[in-house]
A and B are shown apart, each in its own frame.
Chain A
Amino acid sequence: MSARLAAAIAALLLLAAPASAQLGAATQSPPPAGVAEGEGAAHPRGHYAALDALPDWGGIWFVAVERPAAGAPPAPQPRLKGEYLAQREAWAAEVRANDGVARRTRSNCSPPGMPRIMRLAQYPYEFIFAPGRVTINQEAWMQTRTIWTDGRAHEEDPDPSFMGDSIGRWEGDTLVVDTIGISGELEIDTGWPHSDRFHLVERIRLDPANPDLLVNEMRMEDPEALEEPFEVTVKYRRDRYGKLLEFQCAENDRNPVNEDGHTEYH
């Protein structure tokens, strides 16, 4: 073998193996609490046919924007308490003093996380059923949300995250989702803070009077930030053959946030 060929083969071998990898050393995670070995979402085979019993949520779904009727009572707002109420009041005062403009502390290419991302007017959603899990793909920021429906319990101490830790169950045709572990740096909605003990329950089902309308009744609790549970209902309308489009924010970021927290425009 020539020296050149040997060098070429050596280079190919290097490409084939990740640096410092050892075959057979893959992580072996234990089953989550509440799921027996050999069961749950990680073992989908043999459980696909059962998915046919679930309701028809096919297609993609856009938030249905409902303008309040003239004279309608104002929409309910979260009743904050303690330091969270003080944060809210300081934020509102600043917005008033700044011509209605709220300062941002992170990039506009950073997603809002839960629960706001379930209420975005511009970007649709899709719901994918698989054994032991429901996956919500969101066009916004191309986010993926997983709801475990295989009977597992919440993680004991989930890492705070944008989506949190969601477990769900089917009550008839209603998907009931329980979410904890949402980062306390996120908000209920713009200018409405919550703590890292924020707890969300969603009841999602088709409107019995209109199968092309999906209704999500959201109930939010927070023993540190909320005086009482905050409830809001979101409705989504179906586009049966629509599809989600790519969302590569960094490729089209015309709204950078400057060091004063103001969104710029290019």
Chain B
Amino acid sequence: MTRSGRPFLAALSLAALAVPAWAHHSYSMFDMDKTVVLEASVVRFKWQNPHAFIEADVAAKGGTERWSIEMTSPNNLAQEGWKRTSLKPGDKVRIWVHPLRSGARGASYAGVRLVDGTTLGDVG
């Protein structure tokens, strides 16, 4: 994570009135300036408010890391082409995410390339 991203995030949250409020919690925990690409094996896909999310295993040195990737609401995802059945356990997918600023294995979803090669969201 670059230090330069932080003042921008602070400015973003202080200027929150410029855009409609984000629900259901602040996005300031994520480094929205940074995008990481994960080669992931889906463990679980939960399609439920307030946020859908993906749990996935990602190859790392000496084994795998379990990532938890938060998405927007199912109703917003549906407008992007998502369905409850878009992912299933065992799917090998590529996921573009904005990582947690803490460095923990969590992130905010940006885009995905599904098993059949189609893409959803922002993939670069």
Interface of A toward B, CB cutoff 8 Å: 62-63, 65-68, 74-78, 92, 95-96, 99-102, 104, 108-109, 112, 116, 119-124, 139-141, 189-192, 232, 234, 239, 242, 244-249, 251-252, 254-255, 263, 265-266
The 6 A-B residue pairs with the shortest CB-CB distance, nearest first, are A100-B10, A247-B49, A75-B18, A100-B9, A108-B25, A122-B73
> Smallest Cβ distance from A61 to chain B, in angstroms?
11
Across-interface contacts of A116 in B (CB, < 8 A): 21
Q: Does B60 contact A (CB under 8 A)?
A: no
Across-interface contacts of B75 in A (CB, < 8 A): 62, 122-124, 139, 242, 244-245
Across-interface contacts of B102 in A (CB, < 8 A): 265
Across-interface contacts of A74 in B (CB, < 8 A): 15, 18
A38 to B11, CA, bound (A): 55
Q: Does B88 contact A (CB under 8 A)?
A: no
> Smallest Cβ distance from A96 to chain B, in angstroms?
6
Q: Judge whether A247 and B13 touch: CB under 8 Å.
A: no
> Smallest Cβ distance from A222 to chain B, in angstroms?
16
Q: Does B86 contact A (CB under 8 A)?
A: no
Given the known interface contacts A63-B20, A67-B19, A247-B50, the answer about A99 and B6 at a Cβ–Cβ threshold of 8 Å is: yes
Determine the residue in chain B with the shortest Cβ distance to A189.
Answer: B17
User: Beta-carbon contacts of B100-124 to A below 8 Å, as 1s and 0s?
Assistant: 1110101000000000000000000
User: Beta-carbon contacts of B35-56 to A below 8 Å, as 1s and 0s?
Assistant: 0000000000010111101000
Q: Does B76 contact A (CB under 8 A)?
A: yes
Listed by A's residue number, 17 A-B pairs whose Cβ atoms lie within 8 Å are A63-B20, A74-B15, A99-B6, A99-B101, A112-B21, A120-B23, A124-B75, A139-B75, A190-B16, A244-B75, A245-B49, A254-B53, A254-B70, A255-B24, A255-B25, A263-B29, A265-B29
> Smallest Cβ distance from A251 to chain B, in angstroms?
7
Mostly, the A contact residues are loop
Interface size class of B (residues with CB under 8 A): 35 or more
> Smallest Cβ distance from B121 to chain A, in angstroms?
15
Determine the residue in chain B with the shortest Cβ distance to A118.
Answer: B20
> Smallest Cβ distance from B122 to chain A, in angstroms?
14
A76 to B53, CA, bound (A): 35
Return the contact of A99 from the options B10, B19, B20, B46 (Cβ within 8 A).
B10
Given the known interface contacts A139-B49, A265-B106, the answer about A189 and B24 at a Cβ–Cβ threshold of 8 Å is: no
Q: Judge whether B28 and A101 touch: CB under 8 Å.
A: yes
Return the contact of A123 from the options B10, B17, B49, B68 (Cβ within 8 A).
B49
Which of A63, A255, A265 has the most chain B CB atoms closer than 10 A to its own CB? A265
Q: Judge whether A95 and B68 touch: CB under 8 Å.
A: no
Determine the residue in chain A with the shortest Cβ distance to B18.
Answer: A75
Interface residues of B in 48-97 (CB under 8 A from A): 48-51, 53, 68, 70, 72-76, 79
